Amino acid sequence: MVQKRVMFSMFLEKATRGISRFWSGFPYVRCCRAVTTRLVHTNDSPVEDFKNRRDCDPPNAPKRPFKRTKHGITWWDPYHWMRVKREKAIRYLQLENAYAEKSMVDTLPLQRKLEKEMASRLTQETSTPPERIGPWLYYTRVPKGQEYNVYYRRRHTSGAKRSESMWKRLASSILGWDDPDGEEELLDMNGLAEQFGYVQLGTCRLSKDQNLMAYTLDTSGNEIFSLFVKDLQTGNLIVEEREISVGSVEWAGNGRTLYYTEVDDLLRPWRVYRRTLGSASTGTLLFEEKDASSFLHVSRTKDWTFVTVNANSKTTSEVYLVDADDPYADLQLVEKRTPGVQYFLEHHEGFLYILTNRQSAIDADSAMAGDYRLVRCNIEDLGRQDWEEVVSVEQGALIEDMEIFQNHLVLYQLSHGLPRVEVLDLPLTGIQSRRRLRLPQKICTVIPGANEDFTSSVFRLTVSSPNLPETILEYDLATGKAEVLQQEAVLGVKGLRQNQRRKKLDGRESSVVTDHDVAVLSKDLPVDPDNLQLDFFSQYICERHEVNTSGGVSVPLTVVHKSRVHNGKDPALLIGYGAYGKNLAVEWCSDHLSLLDRGWVVAFAHVRGGGELGRTWYQAGQRLKKKNSFNDFIACANFLVDNKLAHKHKLSALGVSAGGLLVASVMNLNPSLFKAVILQAPFLDISNSLLDKDLPLSVHEYDEWGDPDDPHNFANIRSYSPYDNVREGEAYPAVLVKCGLLDKRVGYWEAAKYVATIRDVTAGDQLVLLKCSMDTGHVQDCGRFSHLGDTAYDYAFLLRTVGS
């Protein structure tokens, strides 16, 4: 698959189109982590004194004037010390944590109740259906009493029919472990978490012969990933590379040569190395990226013909090929980078199939970049620009991704913001027909499976929506017929109807935007009778609305609520992101039921800056047009009130990372719009951060927000930067800001400076809390049960400040 996001099914990283998310952090973070541990254990007395005080006033953040000037504009940053005086900042953060704990102590019974009910919906253990790659079946399981995945494989039984039979035969042994002797444990994340205290799997790649496994681990929470290679025949580690931080990894076809990217101190994968195991050399530099805005990623084509070296910024691409069977061959450039033009590729029988936003095959240098289209070129014609168009896309639809198999090509699309999947036969003929696959629901998120087997006649994907638990489907590429392999179990939901009928996946292209009329399972498709289809459609309604803004733009809004009549008195949580062309996922989250069952509405605003409606939609919410995102979010909030889906004094909002910038900026524009706001790892001090080129990712971010060295861009950034635009003397909503001390993408000081400013200049006695995790970074705990405490805290904050 060639895709701009990194997807996982089981634990296999897909060949990605675009930049790997698995970047790493500063080398000195290990020292900072030690400092943090020392401070936590040796400076408890001020924190204990604070906890024991009778009053519950927030900690005082001292002001220390710091003057900055840019483009003739001068401003003062009174909390700059939080960025540079780390030990003092840590003491302050500890006081903030103590204040947050003390302020929420009266909600502890509610937190415990919420955590217990969220945990009660989850099964004690879970596993994935096995996926075949050659002679092996790969799968994962979270064992009972554990939090994280254990990765396994076992040999495929010879003579087995296609995977449906495989799954039925192996279900009892995999779920009940009747035959543990045939099973090989590859990686136990629980054991690693216990060993290191923290662990995150970055990437994992199998050699072609499946005898070796290369993977990367972050064992300290700072996104510094070390490289490991395990011999699966002996179980021994044969490589443990901790001297450099590693981004992506890929194997050559010989199963002994490894390609990997080195990540620099600014979180940028900038060098590609080639290393042959068993040789004296620890690695040979193959490629170095000079452009500070571009990141490198190594992958391969699914048919093992080429290893690809991909250089990507947020606006440009450049791809080099290496013969996978000749790792010492020279790099071949497919096409030099052109400003604004991106391309990502796969290989099939002598042709490169290319997704590109280049709109002209005649004059690439002057072509306007728009939505992606699928083209191809002969491998012998690299450098020529007369690429052949493979498929056309009708108005309102766009191609997001593609998947190549020996006899088929799968296209992942969006049609008016909703997912669609089509299959083409390969090799291409003069008249090319496409089969549109039937999805169980119109309003949903589709996640491709690993689908590592190039010769397979079936492929997998996961479908999920706010009222449809994650469902793993397997499609027959020749017929388009589907089978439900597995669905996430949801326990203890009152009145839930478990639908065991075998209904047909309805392919109707209805114009109705609600989902209750879309049937789910198939009468004439084989369905595992032990795999019950959960029917939530009668309990929770998921709707897509179109919200008209003052500028005449129609913004998609997804709304989830209980199946009942609304009278305009309900509380609501509005979620937004709107950056990097990323779609705001509308997917299953059983935790949300704790709000929905209390009468809340949960809504998702697909504002400009996201990718739901294509590249034009994305570009309309970035750089000088960023404020469109804010206007869209405000319009969606007002829509909920005007249409009696929510009470105007019971609106709340949630923003994560760049979504935090969105929500905080909207809060500055209209402080009375929300009753409560939660900001997680939020990007709040954008103007100061972009000016600091020594910070990770700053230069890379210029393509998204604008280059601050340009006066117009900088003035625009300053005009909406949340930290710089808090409105003095006005009453703000209750605010919960959450950050991580080891976060290298968004510094902890951004949250701390923002909270101190809110308390200092705004009016009213609203609750403003800062919670800083002292041992994690941008990614918080994602354990199956361990994350529930944080979620329960968030929901208790909403229920306390907004009500139900």
The identity of residue 94, as a single letter, is Q
The DSSP result for 430-491, as a single string, is SS--EEEPPPS-SS-EEEE-----TT-SEEEEEEEETTEEEEEEEEETTT--EEEEEE----
Contacts of 123 (CB under 8 A, 6+ apart): 489, 491
Question: What domain range is 597 assigned to?
Answer: 540-801
Residue 598 lies in a domain: yes
Say how many residues make up the chain. 804
Phi and psi, residue 723, nearest 5°: -65, -35
Question: Which H/E stretch holds residue 188?
Answer: strand 183-188
Alpha helices (H) along 104-214? 108-120, 163-176, 189-196
Label the pairing between strands 200-206 and 150-155: unpaired
Report the C-alpha gap between 553 and 628 in whole angstroms: 10
Give how far Cα 374 sits from Cα of 381, 388, 482, Å: 17, 9, 25
pLDDT score, position 181: 56
> Long-range contacts for 215-221 (Cβ within 8 Å, ≥24 apart)?
215/187, 215/249, 216/22, 216/246, 216/247, 216/249, 217/192, 218/24, 219/192, 220/29, 220/30, 220/33, 220/196, 220/742, 221/33, 221/740, 221/742, 221/775, 221/776, 221/777
Give the Cα separation of 595 and 312 in Å (integer): 40
Q: Is residue 499 within 8 Å of residue 521, measured between CB atoms?
A: yes
Q: What percent of the chain has pLDDT over 90?
A: 68
- Tell whether 471 is covered by a domain: no
Does residue 583 belong to any structural domain of this protein? yes
The encoded tokens of residue 487 equal 């669905």
In a domain, 661, yes or no: yes
pLDDT value of residue 154: 95
So what's the pLDDT on residue 672?
97
- The answer to whether residue 282 is domain-embedded is no
pLDDT at position 307, please?
98
pLDDT at 535: 59
- Residue 57 has a CB neighbour count (10 Å cut-off) of 9
Determine the pLDDT at residue 524: 26
Beta carbons of 704 and 716 less than 8 angstroms apart = no
CA 92 to chain centre: 31
Q: How many CB atoms lie within 10 A of CB 200?
A: 21
Q: What is the number of domains present in the chain? A: 1
Task: Say what the pLDDT of residue 496 is.
Answer: 54
| Pairwise CA distance, residues 126 & 320, whole Å | 40
Q: Do residues 239 and 228 touch, judged by C-beta distance below 8 A?
A: yes
pLDDT for res 48: 65
pLDDT value of position 39: 37
Residue 454 forms part of a structural domain: no
CA neighbor of 117 nearest in space, from 595, 464, 459, 527: 595
Residue 731 bridge partners (DSSP): 763
Euclidean distance between the first and final Cα of the chain, in Å?
44
> Cis peptide before 427, with omega less than 30 degrees from 0?
yes
Q: Are 641 and 564 in contact (CB under 8 A)?
A: no
CB atoms within 10 A of CB 265: 14
Q: Is residue 157 part of a domain?
A: no
Q: Which two tokens stand for residue 20?
A: 């790997």
Its pTM stands at 0.88
For residue 488, give both structure tokens: 């996430």
Residues in contact with 740: Cβ distance below 8 Å, sequence separation at least 6, in sequence order: 221, 681, 748, 772, 773, 776, 777, 778, 780
CA distance linking residue 454 with residue 449, whole number of Å? 13
> Distance (Å, rounded) from C-alpha 544 to C-alpha 593?
19
Strand, helix or coil for residue 516: coil
Edge-first strand listing for the sheet containing 225-231 = 200-206, 212-218, 225-231, 237-241
Is the separation of the CB atoms in 612 and 606 below 8 Å?
Answer: yes
- Supply the CATH number for residue 700's domain: 3.40.50.1820
Other Cβ atoms less than 10 A from the Cβ of 115: the count is 21
| pLDDT for position 320 | 98
Give mean pLDDT in consecutive 10-residue pieces for the chain, a chain of 804 residues.
38 29 24 33 55 76 95 95 93 96 97 96 92 93 92 79 45 42 90 91 96 95 92 94 92 97 94 91 91 96 98 95 95 94 96 89 52 93 83 88 96 95 89 84 93 95 93 92 90 60 32 29 30 69 94 96 86 98 94 96 98 95 98 98 97 97 98 98 96 90 96 97 97 97 92 97 95 83 83 97 91
